[in-house]
Amino acid sequence: KKVVLFILVGAAAQLDTVLGSNNAIREATIFFFMGNELLSLLENAGRMGIPLPQALTNAVEVLGGKQKQ
């Protein structure tokens, strides 16, 4: 899985070179994967019973698509 992430970031860097977009696509790709990993980390911390601030818990529910109806 991690190898695929590196390949995707490399492809985004190549796309930046071709389009001349000053690394915007590469950085957007990196920030997307960083956010995804942070979300996963917070979800796992919550499952382990580590207390999280309510604002973070709400953000995880909203971003993870698990809003209370």
Domain membership of residue 42 (yes or no) is yes
Prediction pTM value? 0.75
Section 44-59 average pLDDT: 88
Domain membership of residue 69 (yes or no) is no
The C-alpha atoms of residue 19 and residue 14 are separated, in whole angstroms, by: 9
Amino acid, res. 15 = L
pLDDT for res 1: 81
Report the number of distinct structural domains present in the chain.
1
pLDDT tens-digit map of 13-34 = 999 999 998 999 999 999 999 9
pLDDT for res 66: 62
Domain membership of residue 52 (yes or no) is yes
- The number of CA neighbours under 13 Å toward the Cβ of 44 is 6
The C-alpha atoms of residue 28 and residue 67 are separated, in whole angstroms, by: 26
Residue carrying structure tokens 């604002």: 55
Section 39-54 average pLDDT: 89
Domain that holds residue 32: 2-63
Amino acid, res. 20 = G
Amino acid, res. 25 = I
When comparing pLDDT for 61 and 4, which is higher? 4
Domain membership of residue 68 (yes or no) is no
